[in-house]
Amino acid sequence: MDWKGVYNAKDGEVYLMNGIIPINKERGMTSHDVVAKVRGILKTRKVGHSGTLDPNVDGVLPVCVGRATKVVDYLMDFGKTYKGSITLGFSTTTEDLDGDIVDQKKMTEPLSDDQINATLNSMTGTLIQIPPMYSAVKVNGRKLYEYARAGQTVERPERKINVYQFKQIKPTQFDPEKGQQTIFFEVKCGKGTYVRTLAVDFGLKFDLPAVMSDLTRLSSGGFGIDECLTLSELEDARDEGQLSDVIYPLDRALKNFNSVIITDAEWKVVQNGGFLKRPKTDLIISLKYKGNIQALYQYDEEYQLYKPKKMLLVK
């Protein structure tokens, strides 16, 4: 089965495709808005995104189409890179500029570059983070933002996050009249990290209220912003019959797994969800047949064979 599926833009019809389209999401749209738009452009319901972006954040949003929706979780494992800014001197309910101001503290002098760089560097590695109230994390079956909007508070679960790099990328700006300082950063982090909360936690290091005042996602799911296209560019690609130029195979999400080319006989076994008796090479392997990754198989130590873990393009 061809990973791209079959489509024909010239007659106005677009049929099911299988692959990943990295979208450069514009501000003002929710991630759900993007998915709805892609569904309309490609005329298919089977579309999902990898890693929610808030409406006030732009940048990389990998969108999976067709059977590629099965690899969303693997895209999340690649981590993300952002650039943005932290403003010190006030804080909000949402930890960004969308919320109401809840605390203010006028700064009389700015933090030095040495203070900033040392503190950003100290906030790397494996950290414990408490997600913001305005987030989609569920507690007792309800999303935290539902509690927040109802004016309720609830104990939020701690979670481990990984921050690989947190650095200043250009000179800071200090407004002596407002008593506020803005720091411009780039952060590379693992899944589940709330950059808004990193901004707030940075301020706490200096007993200052803080917010995330700007954010752009530079990479996600192994895709960089230079590989992305806008929704209008996706429409143009459809109209010009060039969708094959902008959709990536689901293999991109599986780069962390060693691939094994299987024989015709093994392919018949895989098509039926059968087990493969072959020497162990890795715990999980991707099975490639006729140039496409068809499934993921996991090794069973007890029976010394490979069992199906995730069927991808297999019918």
Residue 171: how many other CB atoms lie within 10 Å: 9
DSSP string, 247-269: -B-GGGGGTTSEEEEPPHHHHHH
Burial 184-197 (b: 16+ CB within 10 A, else e): bbbbbbbbebbbbb
Is the CB of residue 88 less than 8 Å from the CB of residue 209?
yes
Give the residue from 222, 216, 234, 220 showing the smallest Cα distance to 58: 216
Q: 123-159 burial string, b = 16+ CB within 10 Å, else e?
A: ebeebebebbbbbebeeeeeebeebbeeeeeeebeee
What type of residue is 83? K
Residues in a beta bridge with 166: 187
Residue type, 69: T
Task: State the DSSP H helix or E strand holding residue 149, giving kind and residue range, or none if neither.
Answer: helix 144-149
Q: Are 198 and 166 in contact (CB under 8 A)?
A: yes
The residues annotated with a catalytic role in the active site are: 54
Dihedrals φ, ψ of 194, to 5°? -100, 110
Decide: 275 and 305 in contact? Cβ < 8 Å.
Answer: yes
